[in-house]
Structure 1
Amino acid sequence: MTLRQELTGTGTAFGTFGELLQGVLPEDGGDFLVTLPVARWSMATFRQDAGVGGIGVRPAHKKKALQLARMIAEEERRPVRGVLTVSSVIPEGKGLASSSADLVATARAMASTLRTPMPPCRIERLLARIEPTDGVLYPAIVAFHHRAVRLRAVLGTLPAMTVVGIDEGGAVDTVAYNRIPKSFSTAQSHEYARLLDRLSYAVPRHDLAEVGQVATRSALMNQPFRYKRSLDPMLEICRDVGGLGVAVGHSGTTLGILLDSRDPSCTRRAMEAAQACGERAGNVAVYRTLSFPGTPTPTSPHAETLLPA
């Protein structure tokens, strides 16, 4: 191992296509979401360099990642100097967990460089000091309390799905969005609890039809809070191509039609959906969801200890 390799560490984290479900449960601190991991990644590299004054970041606008790197260095109680480089193919401000992925990748890169443990519980504690966070630190579909930055449950894994997505444009500041008070009725919070129960049953059984129905219902319930002008056209396209349902970035600008990648007609359906989306909305991109073989389900209250970093 060369000196440069000894002083350099990397970390990665996946993004999500919005959420399968997001809302508030009828309990204190009930804000939650259910992740939909996709094959889009952030990668962070930290290279120690004694000739650098403190810790710097590239590109310069990745200020949250820089804040996290400095927090980890402070906890280590030893001199840490170097440059953090963050690269990502996840669009920012769209509801695709780009910021969460940057931060998780940064935590893992710092841990790799400094040879320090970085279990999920430590990442959660650190990220809670920075911003509301998606559950992308867990290799599974999870129910996650994003405001409190705390795992609720590991739901499991699903067969791969194809997502034909559109972007309505603009960008959303997740921190600012989460500061906006949202008034959920008692009936709504109980419906979110029922939807979470449905997902908790459907995911381990790989019931993609039920997953699509829950995602669609969550998208519709989110309209008063983050209106998507393209939701009705996307629902129509989904019906026309025989899709499973529509998932959205609840706090972002994306909407996507879910298709079962195992279906022999998936490629044809995806092409038809992409053409229709392009005609009605433009900004079409195709994503593939991630599967995680060996994910343990159901979980205990300390399920994070069952999952690798």
Structure 2
Amino acid sequence: MHASGWAIGHHGEILQGVFHGDDHRLHRGLVTLPFTSRYSIAVAEAIEGDEIIVYPKHKRKARDAMEHFLREMKHDQKGIRLIVSSNIPEGFGLGSSTTDIVATIRATAKLLGTRLKPSALFRLAVRTEAASDGTMFSGKPRLVCQREGTVLERFRRKIPEFSLISVNVAPDQPVDTLIHPPARYNEQEISEFEELRRLMRRALRTASLSDLGKVATRSAIINQRYLPQPHFAAILDLCRSKGAFGVQVAHSGRMVGILLDPSLDRDDRTVRHIQSELLRLSLFSEFLKSPHR
């Protein structure tokens, strides 16, 4: 008997910072940009004995996630073989570890005949890797506390469609999120995050790509103080000169995205020009239509 589970990755965040909760405390939070063309698939199979076997062997977080799940659910299933496959490179802010974990838990739950709510899956993911993006939630975006496994706010509207030019600005410099320290934001930045949260609500309510781009760009600029992205200033200038809506980044990785009108395609003059200019910086890019759909 076997069962499978899958999970999508992400292209960094639209917004990440520190926000006030209903408890009047500050919480680290983020709004993930889903990236449906990057994903992990896990296949779990019951085997003889009491051993848990995971392939590939370096997928330690997937193994940890399964063990956390089995303990929390008090299942007596002993022997399980897990195979994890993914098209996500590790260390660049595309959600490789979170997608492995989510796919693993979904596969294991299905194998054992258990259904998990996304909120429970989120808590398990945070327990496994200390911080997790909110890619297990589908539909309307959420402002999630990536280190607490809770949701600060569920927005009322979906992210509007847009096109994206995706670029890894440092393919030889992956980020180890377990080593990289969390940002220590100052009072001015914390105040600005609340303004961006309000602008995010308006952007979604009115389906405004202009406002969404402002949120993403400002969040990316603040993040430059804590995890500088190579070529960021040049990419931002290019974005502004070609009328893009803004830039967004993986706040703990190396991916940068340029937000464009959803009507554009890869042969459009603007797209070709941006990609050509990125090549001048020795940066290879990918054009994507509606990456979050």
| 2:135 maps to amino acid | V
What is the DSSP-based 3-state SS (H/G/I as helix, E as strand, rest coil) of the residue aligned with 1:232?
A: helix
Alignment partners' CA distance in 2, 1:286 and 1:79: 45
Equivalent residue for 1:269? Answer: 270
Distance 1:125 1:62, change over 3 A: same
Deviation at 1:127, TM superposition (A): 1.9
| 1:13 maps to amino acid | A
Structure 2 gaps, min length 5 = none
Deviation at 1:124, TM superposition (A): 2.3
Equivalent residue for 1:306? Answer: none
Deviation at 1:53, TM superposition (A): 4.3
Aligned pairs for 1:157-236 (under 5 A) are 157-167=158-168, 168-169=170-171, 170-177=173-180, 180=181, 182-236=183-237
Cα pair 2:12 2:248 within 8 Å, conserved: yes
Alignment partners' CA distance in 2, 1:10 and 1:268: 42
Q: Does 1:114 align with 2:108?
A: no
Distance 1:111 1:288, change over 3 A: farther
Deviation at 1:100, TM superposition (A): 1.1
Q: Does 1:244 align with 2:264?
A: no
What is the DSSP-based 3-state SS (H/G/I as helix, E as strand, rest coil) of the residue aligned with 2:179?
A: helix
Equivalent residue for 1:56? Answer: 53
Distance 1:281 1:162, change over 3 A: farther
Equivalent residue for 1:101? Answer: 99
Cα pair 1:132 1:175 within 8 Å, conserved: no
For 1:21, which of 15, 25, 42 is the aligned residue? 15
Cα pair 2:34 2:291 within 8 Å, conserved: yes
Alignment size in residue pairs: 283
Q: Which deviates more from structure 2 when the two are superposed, residues 270-279 or residues 106-115?
A: 270-279
For 1:11, which of 1, 5, 15 is the aligned residue? 5
Cα pair 1:90 1:98 within 8 Å, conserved: yes
What is the DSSP-based 3-state SS (H/G/I as helix, E as strand, rest coil) of the residue aligned with 2:205?
A: coil
Alignment partners' CA distance in 1, 2:107 and 2:265: 40
Deviation at 1:29, TM superposition (A): 4.2
Distance 1:291 1:249, change over 3 A: closer
Deviation at 1:153, TM superposition (A): 2.0
Q: Cα RMSD over matched residues?
A: 2.0
Aligned pairs for 1:59-74 (under 5 A) are 59-74=56-71
Alignment partners' CA distance in 1, 2:266 and 2:46: 50
Q: Which deviates more from structure 2 when the two are superposed, residues 156-165 or residues 108-117?
A: 156-165
| 2:280 maps to amino acid | E
Cα pair 2:202 2:211 within 8 Å, conserved: no
Deviation at 1:263, TM superposition (A): 4.3
Alignment partners' CA distance in 1, 2:182 and 2:265: 45
Per-residue Cα deviation, 1:72-112 (whole angstroms, up to 9, x for no partner): 22333312312111111122111111211111111111111
Alignment partners' CA distance in 2, 1:181 and 1:252: 13
TM-score by length of 2: 0.89
Deviation at 1:269, TM superposition (A): 2.6
Structure 1 gaps, min length 5 = 1-6, 293-309
Over the matched positions of the two proteins, sequence identity in percent amounts to: 30
Q: Which deviates more from structure 2 when the two are superposed, residues 191-200 or residues 144-153?
A: 144-153
Equivalent residue for 1:153? Answer: 153
Alignment partners' CA distance in 2, 1:286 and 1:182: 30
TM-score by length of 1: 0.85
